[in-house]
Every structure is written in structure tokens, then in C-alpha cells.
Chains A and B, each alone.
Chain A
Amino acid sequence: DTEVTQTPKHLVMGMTNKKSLKCEQHMGHRAMYWYKQKAKKPPELMFVYSYEKLSINESVPSRFSPECPNSSLLNLHLHALQPEDSALYLCASSQDREAFFGQGTRLTVV
């Protein structure tokens, strides 16, 4: 299994909603990532978890809250988002320099 699975694929949420994005991998990778990608821009790193501990937080607003419950799962909790947070959110995992990406969650904040 060389897949990174993200759910949901699409999400529409209001500015007062609380929602979560989920990411799962069963490759035994110890590094997991969240990226945000706006149209026609490169993916921007948000968070990195290494061995289930947050190792990099790229100055992401607190309305985005990551969580790594175990070595296979990575969540991104969303609360009080703004319309400009609408983007594709990509999860990735890596081991030995090779990163595998999920298909992303297309998030729209209304």
C-alpha cells in the first residue's frame, strides 16, 4: 500500500463551523506533512510531524490546528476560517527522502 488517503475530497464550510481534515498512510512513514495550495501557486508547507511530534509550524494561524493521534493518522482541525483560507490542502508522508502525497481536500470557506 503506497497510498496517502485524504478525506473528505471536497469540503464547504461556513466561517463559524468547526471541521477536520483527515490523512492516513500505512507505509510506516515517520514524517507527515500538511501543505496548502492556492490556485496557480506552489504548495506551501504548513506543518511537519516527525515521529508523531510537531517539528515544524510555518507560522500558521491558530484557526488551523494539527493533530497526530498515531503514526498512521494526521488531522487538521479547522475553526473560524476565512474565505481566503479556501484552497487545496495536501497531506504527504515521507521516509528515506521520498514523499508520497494524497489527492488533497478542496476546501471552500463561505
Chain B
Amino acid sequence: ILNVEQSPQSLHVQEGDSTNFTCSFPSSNFYALHWYRWETAKSPEALFVMTLNGDEKKKGRISATLNTKEGYSYLYIKGSQPEDSATYLCAFEEGASGTYKYIFGTGTRLKVLA
């Protein structure tokens, strides 16, 4: 059974604080690591697809890093805003191209307080 774990489970931060959370995944048979942002009653929104060890990606105030050798990825949010409140999910994609199999973590529920 493949385990993808995220920590912390939930997080409350003040507006303007920077924050980060972790996704841990199997270090073998890696193909890609996906980050999603999911607001209640909306579709999960793709943030990043990361494939190479050492990858760093950035989208506005959100960035992510990837370490495939030790099996973890960090998501950072700089200067959190109330609209960043959401559940952040990571998904591990295993194996060779074409498996299409995404295994999701448990999510980190972020609440940014104004």
C-alpha cells in the first residue's frame, strides 16, 4: 500500500504570516508529484506538477520544492491572505508514463485569519 502523508493536518495563521507544509511520499517508483488547492464546494485546482529532484516551482506567493530521493515536497505560502484558506492536497504519481494513477495525501487544511 502506497502512503502519501501530509502535515500538519490543519493550520491557522494570521494574515501576513508565511507558512509551509509537507507532503511525504514513497521514494521509489516516482513519476511526478502534484499539488492542488481545494476550496469547499469547488473543484480542486492544480497548482504545480513536479517531476525532477530539486525542482522548485513558483506561482505568485506560493512556491514548492521537491526531493525525490528522500520522498518529500514542501509547499510555501508567503504573506498569507484570507483567500488562501483552503485544503492543500498533494498527489503522488507512480511508475512510468501512462499509469495515470494519482494517490492523494490527506491534505492540510489552512485557515488564514484576518
Contacts and interface: CB of A to CB of B under 8 A. Distances in A.
Chain A partners chain B: yes
Interface in A29-71: 31, 33, 41-45, 48, 50, 55-56
Contacts of A45: 101-103
Interface residues of A, number: 22
Interface residues of B, number: 24
Main secondary structure of the interface of A (DSSP, over half): strand
Contacts of B36: 101
A99 to B, nearest CB: 6
Contact of B43 (A48, A55, A98, A103): A103
Interface in B75-99: 89, 91, 93, 98-99
A4 B46 CA distance: 13
A42 B36 CA distance: 12
B102 A100 contact: no
B70 to A, nearest CB: 21
Given A42-B105, A101-B44, A94 B89 contact: no
A102 B2 CA distance: 25
Contacts of A101: 36, 43-44
Interface of B: 4, 32, 34, 36, 41-44, 46, 49, 51, 89, 91, 93, 98-107
B107 A48 contact: no
A88 to B, nearest CB: 10
B51 A97 contact: yes
Nearest to B97: A97
A97 B57 CA distance: 15
Give the most central of B4, B32, B44, B103: most A CB within 10 Å.
B44
Nearest to A102: B43
Given A97-B93, A100-B43, A100-B46, A48 B100 contact: yes
